Structure 1
Amino acid sequence: MSVALSLGSLLKIVFDYGLSKTELLGITLCIMVIHLVLNCRYLNVLSWLNQLNVFWSCAGLFLVVLLLSFVTKQHQDPLWVFTHFENQTGFENPYYVFVLGMVGATYALFGAEGSAALTEETENASIAAPIAIVTSIITAWVFGCIYLLVLLFSIQDMDAVLTTAYNLPVTQVFMDALGTPLTIGFLLLMILCQFCSGSAIFTICSRQVYNLARNGRLPYSPQLQKLNSHDVPGMAIFATFLVACCVILPYPLSDHIFMIIVSAATISACTSYSITLGCKLFIGTGDKKGRFHLGRFSKPVNIIGFIWALCAVVAFALPSKWPITVSNANYAGLALCVVVCLSCWMVSRTCH
């Protein structure tokens, strides 16, 4: 979807043509089909795309930061950047709005553990996988902070960003700060990075499906764990494609429905994080340690991660607009309550 939104913004700039939601959906489905084919047959291309993405993302981000720092017509005052509070939620309590703002930070960390799903295809995985996880979080935090600060300093008109006609509001920031040619270059950079990242995420999700199926934890596990002629789990990849289609299909009907589905999926991921961290924190693993461990920092980091995961679940379940209506209510919170109640009922039934 992110590739389609970036492409929609690009077409709006170049041809003054705005894509409809149905057209955005069609582009997204086409991109997903490409990812499906790449993951099923062309692993060498996937490897090349991942390497390209690392270089392109780092070099592109460095170039974007330089352009916004030295080419922008006018920069915002530091006081505005660090103290201005833009509240479009309808809630008056700043602390509540701050919690809602943390949702974006949760999205930024989402999927950092993806390398763990590819450990069986990684050399020296017991060291490489955890290092990849830690490195991805650190680099995302450092470069993300730099990019966000430069972006905030480069905003020319906040109202124009909030009411922009572009599919991606950040496009308006670049248009106001750098002009049309550089904004087109920025969008092309984003499209390539998003496409490469999408193929990698597709691979990670399909391997998670394969791992669960191999352990007999999914319906049709015998079929999902089969490898095709290219030694990849073809059925698991296709199942991932079908689930992704089901998630994206409601988008033309309502932005709100689509965001509810995304929020519910993120709540599920954060809940799985909290369960894993909670088990390690309260049950422990004995004296057994892997080749990579945090030593005496393990417990403090575990506590922080556990609290963060729980707070993220709460943040995604909270209403994000006031007054609350049928069209803007956060039904992901209601779905979470239903799942928790059903889970407790099933556990209690098993115990008795």
Structure 2
Amino acid sequence: MTKDEKATDININVETRKVNEGSPKFHNADNELLAELGYRAEFKREFSMLETIAFAISIMGVVASVTSTFSFPLVSGGHVGMVWGWFIPCIFVMAVALSMAELVSSMPTSAGLYYFSAKLAPPKYAALASWITGWANITGQVTLVCSIDFTCAQMITSAITVGSNGAIVLSSGETYAILLAILFCHGLVCSAATNVLARLNLFYVVVNGGTTVAAIVALLVSSGNDKVSTKDAFTLFENNTGWANNGWAFLLAFTAPMWTLTGYDSAAHISEEVAGAQRSAPIAIIVGVAITEILGWLLLIAASFATKSVSSLLTTNLPLPMAQLFLDVLGKRGMLAIWSFIIVVQFVTGAAQGVDASRVIFAFARDNALPGSRWWKQINRHTQTPVNAVWLVMVSAAICGLLGFSTAALSSLAGASVIGLYVSYATPIFLRITSGRNALSPGFFTLGRWYLPVGIVAVSWVAFIVVLLLFPPSQTTSAQGMNYAVVIIMGVFIFASISWVVSAHKWFHGPIKNIDTSRAASFDSKELQT
């Protein structure tokens, strides 16, 4: 062993001892593995397995997410779009989740997906694979924060309109102002210490699950004898997209579940704050996705039974058609009661996503991959969280929120977030089933020999859905109604490509170790002398 290798080995042991002083024994194992991956432990491991699962569920916010995207299945198939437009994508998303869980279990670091890509790609292309994955993930993370908070603002405007009996209808500018206020509040929440965030997620998941169950029961019970028949609820198809081909119109309903079933990579991004990360993080991904898929499907089945007229919901004056459905079924007071809880769920979903996005920014900046990385990788000495990265996320989301002045704001933001995130999900999975077949050291959770067929299904699905989500909502479109997802995605792609060609290929070499070997060797030498 060379002198430098000895110093590195000493450093890992010393850094681990320093970080884990007074910590539970399993924290030592977590930090030893993190050191092997090349990173010094900088966070407190305050998330238990239960809190990690709660975080994954909260970030998908099933009842609020289904409410936000209810217009997509309504337009793209009506009752069929609601029920089967949700069920079919869920099968393929689980393949992505399983593949990701295996990677997270092997390499639990907040660097997450772009770290996986770097380790699984051929050495010659490791930096480029990491660069592409990192920028795709950041694009998806930021636009997802914006789309969640934008729909939260729309929920608030809907409540104001219903509460005032239609006398107050807020403009796009006023909705944007509400969005800014929500982003500011989320900036404050996401800047809190890790132990505060961990405890908050237990509250989040209770509100989320409770509201979802309440919404299902309310729609089924309160609709009484006005429910549509079982045959209509599951088989009645209506094409309101403007696309002539009914099959293509139905496929556009997939936007709703794909937007909802995002963010579960959050378990990877907070893995440096999780106790027993090799076990807790993959379980959180799988359980979080499964619970969200099941609850989401049950809620949409209930909505399908309660929807007497698809066209009347689509012509509502309220920003979100689900608000009109609750108003029709529950009346004004009932609608406002459950709607207030849905707003809370959407707010906490945005807060959880803000934490996730800030950890991605921090990790990418820690590897000096962002402009101004020295600012974004700083850890606040009071909260031990990346506060600067939090506010970068909020400001970037506010800029993306300017799309709220277009009529296709939600489809544009949803499309951009799904494309960005799922490209970053699929890249390391693709590398796992190609160049990285023998590069993975299995963790607690492994797919065994099934990694190949599951990975092929996952990558094929992502390739299909990315193309689908770039299309406009109808055959004829305008500047106001076009799908701006392509503008966001291409804008970031062009920026990242030019940056890579001009300079990044010279200085970005993928994830870099942040362990100070010389300082550790010196420390250990003094310790041995004593």
Q: Same fold (TM over 0.5)?
A: yes
Alignment of 1:187-198 (within 5 A): 187-198=339-350
- The 1:41–1:114 alpha-carbon spacing in structure 2 relative to 1, beyond 3 Å, is closer
Secondary structure (helix, strand or coil) at the match of 1:18 reads coil
Moved more, 95-104 or 37-46: 37-46
- 1:203 equivalent to 2:352? Answer no
Root-mean-square deviation (Å): 2.5
Residue in 1 that maps onto 2:402: 249
Q: Is 1:64 paired with 2:215?
A: yes
State yes or no: 1:141 paired with 2:300.
no
Q: Name the amino acid aligned to 1:188.
A: S
Per the TM alignment, residue 47 of structure 1 is displaced from its structure 2 partner at its CA by 3.3
- The Cα of 1:40 is off from its aligned counterpart by 1.8
**Residue 2 (structure 1) aligned with residue 154 (structure 2):** no
In 1, distance between residues paired with 2:235 and 2:211? 29
* DSSP 3-state at the match of 1:112: coil
Alignment of 1:1-352 (within 5 A): 1-16=150-165, 17-41=168-192, 43=194, 45-73=196-224, 74-228=226-380, 229-251=382-404, 253-256=405-408, 259-286=411-438, 288-333=441-486
Aligned CA distance change for structure 1 residues 265 and 107 (closer, same or farther; 3 Å): closer
Aligned equivalents of 2:196, 2:383: Cα separation in 1? 13
The 1-side partners of 2:501 and 2:180 are apart by: 42
CA pair 343-202 structure 1, distance change in 2 beyond 3 A: closer
- What TM-score does the superposition give when structure 1 sets the normalisation length? 0.91
* Whole-angstrom distance in 2 between the partners of 1:230 and 1:41: 6
**Conserved? CA contact 1:13–1:180, under 8 Å:** yes
Contact conserved, 1:50 with 1:197, CA < 8 A, in 2?
A: no
Task: Give the % identical residues.
Answer: 26
Distance 1:36 1:341 in 2: 29
Contact 1:39-1:199 within 8 A present in 2 as well: yes
Displacement of 1:119 after TM fit?
Answer: 0.4
Answer with 127-136 or 312-321: which moved more: 312-321
- SS of equivalent to 1:249: helix
| Residue 326 of structure 1: how far off its partner (Å) | 4.1
Q: Distance in 2 between matches of 1:13 and 1:24?
A: 15
Structure 1 contact 212–218 (Cα < 8 Å) conserved: yes
Q: State the distance in 1 between where 2:453 and 2:209 align.
A: 31
Residue 347 of structure 1 deviates from its aligned partner by 8.3
1:191 alignment partner, SS class:
helix
Asked whether the 8 Å contact 2:208–2:345 carries over to 1, the reply is: yes
Please tell me whether the aligned partners of residues 194 and 384 of structure 2 are also in contact (alpha carbons under 8 angstroms): no
> Which amino acid in structure 1 is aligned with residue 393 of structure 2?
T
Structure 2 letter corresponding to 1:264:
A
SS where residue 270 of structure 2 aligns? helix
Work out the CA distance in 2 between the residues paired with 1:300 and 1:23: 49
Unaligned runs of 5+ in 2: 1-149, 506-530
Structure 1 portions without partners, runs of 5+: none
**Structure number with larger C-alpha Rg:** 2
Structure 1 residue 291, shift from structure 2 partner: 1.7
Once the two structures are superposed, what CA deviation does each residue of 1:151-194 show, in whole Å capped at 9, x if it has no partner? Answer: 11011222220011112210111111122221111101101111
Residue 117 of structure 1: how far off its partner (Å): 0.6
Distance 1:348 1:188, change over 3 A: closer
Q: Which amino acid aligns with 1:138?
A: A
User: 1:65 touches 1:150 (CA, 8 Å); kept in 2?
Assistant: yes
1:259 CA displacement: 4.0
CA distance in 2, matches of 1:256, 1:132: 33
- In 2, distance between residues paired with 1:133 and 1:65? 24
Deviation at 1:44, TM superposition (A): 5.1
8 Å Cα contact 2:269-2:359 kept in structure 1: yes
Q: What is the identity, as a one-letter code, of the residue corresponding to 1:37?
A: L
With 12-21 and 114-123 compared, the bigger mean Cα shift is at 12-21
Q: Report if the CA contact (8 A) 1:12-1:166 is conserved.
A: yes
Secondary structure class of the residue paired with 2:370 = coil
Distance 1:195 1:347, change over 3 A: closer
How far does residue 23 in structure 1 lie from its aligned partner after superposition? Answer: 1.4
Structure 1, residues 189-233: CA drift from partner, whole Å, max 9, x if none?
101111111111111100110011111111111111111132111
SS of the residue aligned with 2:467? helix
Instruction: Give the Cα separation in 1 of the matches to 2:261 and 2:187.
Output: 25
Partners of 1:244 and 1:347 in 2: how far apart?
Answer: 24
Structure number with the bigger relative contact order (C-alpha 8 A, sep ≥ 6) is 2
Q: Distance in 2 between matches of 1:209 and 1:336?
A: 18
Maintained 8 Å contact 1:156/1:173? no
Are residues 227 and 67 of structure 1, via their aligned partners in 2, closer, same or farther at CA, if it must alter by over 3 Å?
same
C-alpha contact (below 8 Å) 1:3/1:195 kept by paired residues:
yes
Q: Is the 8 A contact 2:406 2:480 kept in 1?
A: no
CA distance in 2, matches of 1:330, 1:220: 31
Q: Check 1:301–1:308 CA distance in 2 against 1; reply closer, same or farther (3 A cut).
A: same
Moved more, 317-326 or 18-27: 317-326
CA distance in 2 between counterparts of 1:254 and 1:41 reads 34
